[in-house]
Amino acid sequence: MNQRRASPVLAEFADLHTFAFDDYQVEACEHVEAGSTVLVAAPTGAGKTIAGEFAVHLALQQGRKCFYTTPIKALSNQKYADLVRRHGVAQVGLLTGDTSVNPEAPVVVMTTEVLRNMLYAGSSTLSGLGFVVMDEVHYLGDRFRGAVWEEVIIGLAESVQVVALSATVSNAEEFAEWLGEVRGDVRVVLSERRPVPLFQHVMVGRKLHDLFADEAPTAVAQPTERAPDVNPALVQIAKSETRAVRDDSRRPRGRSGKGKRQGRYGSGKYGGAAHRDQRDKAPRWTPSRADMVRTLARAKLLPAIVFIFSRVGCDAAVRQLLGSDVMLNTDVERAEVRDIAAKHVAGMPPDDLAVLGWHPFLEALERGIAAHHAGLLPAFKECVEELFLAGLIKVVFATETLALGINMPARSVVLEKLVKFNGEAHVDITPGEYTQLTGRAGRRGIDVEGHAVVLWQPGLEPRSVAGLASRRTYPLRSSFTPTYNMAVNLVNRVGRERARSLLEQSFAQFQSDKSVVGLARAITRNTDAAAELWERTHCELGDFAEYAKLRGSISELEAEGARRRKSDRRAEAAESVRALRPGDLIRVPSGRSSGWAVVLGVTVDSEREGPRPQVMTEDRHVRRLSMIDFPVPVEALGRVKIPRQFDARDAHSRRSLHAAFRSRLASLDHVDVRPRSGPVDPELADEITRLRERVRSHPCHRCPDREQHARHAERAMMLERENERTAAKMESRTNTIAQRFDKICQVLESFGYLGEGGRSVTDAGRMLARIYNELDLVTAECVRRGVFDTLSAPQLGAALSTLVFEARRSDDRRRVVLPDARTDRAVADIRDVLREVSLAERDVRLDRGRELDPGLALAIFDWAEGEPLAGVLDRSDLTAGDFVRWVRQVIDFADQIGVAAGDGLLRERCRDLVRRIRRGVVDFTPEEVDPETIRTLGEDDGPTAEGASE
């Protein structure tokens, strides 16, 4: 760093580092020292945390407090360790949901939720607060945690200086503009430069190909305007694959119809998994995982993070490498791995280690291989992180959560596929996600360049991948929405009107209002154009606008009549198809199966799609039809008998039925099958007649320029209708946050949580203010009604878990048996409360909350009863990591309810529950024991892989 540009404080801070600061880091620190709120947006690994660490340094220099906030506990723990190393244990504290260390220290690292709760509670810890660092502020767009960032930014005192650190987002200026509105003076520091250049590759078979013909756009300091050229070799490979598929599809098939045709390709333009016939002779271009690792090792691209968008896939990849001869560590490194791993499980019971699969986990670590995902036990995950940073893990198979903040940079990042399951469907990853994932490649101060590698998948299109890799779009979109807890806390703190005003300052409303500006301009343009058109309709005989609107009314009523007839006809058609029975002979009115058919059966997959009859057509084809084939009602015009043993897949059965079908048709040639027209609404017809008489009697009807004027008028009226639609859209976007807040207050008032017309908080409201949960109002109502009062601690844990737990996918939810009848009744009572709240939400047009999920109830009950880990995991089908994470959330939730309920039996029962379930792996902290002892814990009685080889 150029010392002449630095103040004494900044120069002193720079001297603490072994590297020279980049210009953008110097600029950001200078703005912090000048007292501005600062937004620093830079690529992953570019060192933007320097600005946050300088805020910490400045706070200690000035005798003020600094809170360093992160979105997740793991990142808080990591940052706490970093700051302790620099400033000492006495100067730094840590506050997360389940950890409190030195909370009154001048520097406290915490999760953002903790700071939000402090603001609402008016905590004395806020006294003397001068700086708040918000690391990974792009989490603001996260559906689950994002709203908390905005609550904090809006709620902090004006005297507090905010330092926001973000990954590169494409709308950083927009976010900074909002920050300026709510926080005052804001300085934006943007850097597009990656400190370690990133090069892009595609691995085809065992060979690495450069993705771009020239230098990759992400390997230069600034993005270029020119579209990058794709490596011609990759384009040729894609063409060769396409020819192989085409030639394969032309191969002759056997009599069975099952030839050597190529299987399906994965969805998405970036390619997916292909299901190949074993006899397919096309080249295998997708490398195996063992070949991939060997190729990376030969190219000296290890350590690597391999992103697989599936926990099961990550674990399977580790097992596959354990089954191969891949060994990435030396004997010396293996010994180091054993010692470090031993520290992380020291003191864990041998039985638990056996259940957790300690031995295969350790064997993989010794080989330099590991998985990293939310399903891992926290102690195992922390072990992987430490070993990776120490260079003792060479390949980590990880889910995308690793890309969100944890400091685990690698020399290269590999993406197995560019398609992921988003909970509903398999979709292509976005350029922003690609940037976030590959941002881990290249370790500053260690690597001179980073490498992103995409594995070839059948159907992969190199040009599409190049577009993905060269675009840096990562827009930040607010996920902010008011909640019941937020409403009572704000009303209690600042009153209802001020609370409403604060919510209108949210980034969500700011983004919504900005979109309204464009809509308002469109309305202005349309209004001016319509006025000019109306001028051209001036008529000497009378008011042509009145005349044109009469004609327009007729057109609208005629269209409405047609819509009604079509709707009635559609409903009548669906009803007629639903009434068909097997054996009915019908005339299919349209579609490729139009003509005579015999009905084989009718199914109804969904009310939206309507009934779907299966029929045999005149040419003996069996087809499943839909309502598209029945634009008009249909009726049975005859019948044939369908044998009880009829099988539509059997050729003989089809021939027999077809013979009877043809015979019966001969007697139906005279039947009238013309479609019936829909009924006409008499009131509508009378109104149209009256309007036509008024049009004919209007003076402008005789105007010689009538049709020319009418064309101008129709265009003007079309613009006015467009304005009405745009105005409705504007109304839906304007004050949306405040309007939702008003509706929430209505519901709270109806249940007695707000009083005096919604302007004050009742005792029940103050209880709700202490409950932070997606179903916060339902929980508070259950506490008020005594739903939990008669439950034992294990039963209480099971009941509370239904309000906390959410299965990872909706299809994971299966029918769950609750532990006993009393718990069953309590859960039924919670459902009744949820139904009441949902009805109140429906009345004010609020989206209802999620359903209860009892998937954790039995596991929590068993764990609270003292069941060993093996039994709990076996009965729950949960991974150890998921189990620990959810139990800790139940602990946090039970703590909240105990505090909210006040003195009494429920508080004692909550404390008892917490004592019971905060044990074993849930509350595990390593102890110092002999590493050699730990290494052997959890091993099978038989020989190890190492022992067997000896």
Between CA 220 and CA 199 the distance in angstroms is 10
Q: Which residue is it, tokens 């249940």? A: 751
Q: Is 80 exceeded by the pLDDT of residue 930?
A: no
Residue 318 has what pLDDT?
93
Can you give the pTM of this predicted structure?
A: 0.69
Contact 777, 500 (CB under 8 A): no
Contact 31, 38 (CB under 8 A): yes
Contact 832, 883 (CB under 8 A): no
Residue 245 has what pLDDT?
57
Contact 16, 86 (CB under 8 A): yes
Residue 538 has what pLDDT?
87
- Point out the least confidently predicted range of 345-349, 465-469, 535-539, 753-757: 465-469
DSSP track, 458-474: TT--HHHHHHHHH----
Residue 466 has what pLDDT?
79
Q: Is 80 exceeded by the pLDDT of residue 420?
A: no
DSSP 852: P
DSSP 266: P
pLDDT tens for residues 425-453?
A: 677 777 777 877 888 888 777 888 889 99
To the nearest whole percent, how much of the chain has pLDDT over 70? Answer: 84
C-alpha 232: how far from its chain's center?
36
DSSP 185: S
Residue 601 β-bridge partners = 614
DSSP track, 34-47: TT-EEEEE--TTS-
C-alpha 482: how far from its chain's center?
19
Between CA 483 and CA 741 the distance in angstroms is 8
Q: Tell how strand 638-639 and strand 584-588 pair up.
A: antiparallel
Contacts of 228 (CB under 8 A, 6+ apart): 212, 213, 214, 216, 217, 466, 470
Q: Is 90 exceeded by the pLDDT of residue 928?
A: no
Q: Tell how strand 92-96 and strand 426-428 pair up.
A: unpaired
Residue 938 has what pLDDT?
35
Between CA 111 and CA 136 the distance in angstroms is 11
Contact 830, 854 (CB under 8 A): no
Q: Give CA torsion, residues 368, 374, 375, 381, to 10 deg.
A: 40
Q: Is 80 exceeded by the pLDDT of residue 220?
A: no
**Residue 281: pLDDT band with limits 50, 70, 90:** very low
Q: What is the H or E stretch that residue 528 is in?
A: helix 507-536
Q: Is 90 exceeded by the pLDDT of residue 185?
A: no
Q: What is the H or E stretch that residue 240 is in?
A: helix 232-249
Task: Please state at what angle helix 23-33 crosses helix 8-15, rounded to 10 degrees.
Answer: 130
Q: Which residue is it, tokens 């944890």? A: 406
Task: Pick left, alpha or beta for residue 667 (phi over 0 → left; psi -120 to 50 → alpha; otherwise beta).
Answer: alpha
Residue 205 has what pLDDT?
85
Question: Which of 115-124, 460-469, 607-616, 766-775 holds the top average pLDDT?
Answer: 766-775
Q: Tell me phi and psi for residue 444, to 5 degrees.
A: -60, 130
Q: What is the H or E stretch that residue 242 is in?
A: helix 232-249
Residue 804 has what pLDDT?
92
Q: Which residue is it, tokens 């004494």? A: 8
Between CA 212 and CA 231 the distance in angstroms is 5
Between CA 513 and CA 430 the distance in angstroms is 26
The tokens describing 212, both together, are 């771009």
Residue 412 has what pLDDT?
92
Between CA 92 and CA 77 the distance in angstroms is 12
Between CA 428 and CA 422 the distance in angstroms is 10
Residue from 216, 654, 699 nearest 469 by CA: 216
Q: Give CA separation, 651 vs 598, 648, 657, 728, 884, in Å.
A: 16, 8, 10, 59, 57
DSSP 258: -
Between CA 67 and CA 163 the distance in angstroms is 10
The tokens describing 841, both together, are 């939400």
pLDDT tens for residues 694-732?
A: 888 888 888 888 888 888 888 888 888 888 887 777 666
pLDDT tens for residues 589-601?
A: 888 888 899 999 9
Contact 856, 818 (CB under 8 A): no
Q: Tell me phi and psi for residue 761, to 5 degrees.
A: -105, 130
Q: Which residue is it, tokens 């340094």? A: 57
Between CA 387 and CA 368 the distance in angstroms is 9
Residue 790 has what pLDDT?
92
- For 413, the 3-state DSSP assignment is strand
Contact 758, 745 (CB under 8 A): yes
Contacts of 831 (CB under 8 A, 6+ apart): 852
Contact 522, 708 (CB under 8 A): no
Q: Tell me phi and psi for residue 95, to 5 degrees.
A: -135, 110
Q: Give CA torsion, residues 211, 214, 216, 222, to 10 deg.
A: -160
- Point out the least confidently predicted range of 153-162, 174-183, 603-612, 897-906: 603-612
Length of the chain measured in residues: 950
Contact 32, 55 (CB under 8 A): yes
Contact 466, 223 (CB under 8 A): no
Average pLDDT over residues 624-647: 87
pLDDT tens for residues 799-851?
A: 999 999 988 654 344 556 788 899 999 999 999 999 999 999 998 888 888 88
Q: Which residue is it, tokens 């892989």? A: 945
Between CA 595 and CA 573 the distance in angstroms is 16
CA torsion through residues 99, 100, 102, 106, sign: positive
- For 273, the 3-state DSSP assignment is coil
Between CA 364 and CA 370 the distance in angstroms is 6
- What ranges in 698-792 are assigned the alpha helix state H? 706-733, 736-750, 763-768, 776-784
Tell me what the pLDDT averaged over the chain comes to.
81
- Higher model confidence: residue 239 or residue 51? 51
The tokens describing 637, both together, are 């015009």
Between CA 310 and CA 898 the distance in angstroms is 37
Contact 697, 550 (CB under 8 A): no
Contact 40, 164 (CB under 8 A): yes
Residue 218 has what pLDDT?
60
Q: Is 50 exceeded by the pLDDT of residue 207?
A: yes
Q: What is the H or E stretch that residue 415 is in?
A: strand 412-415
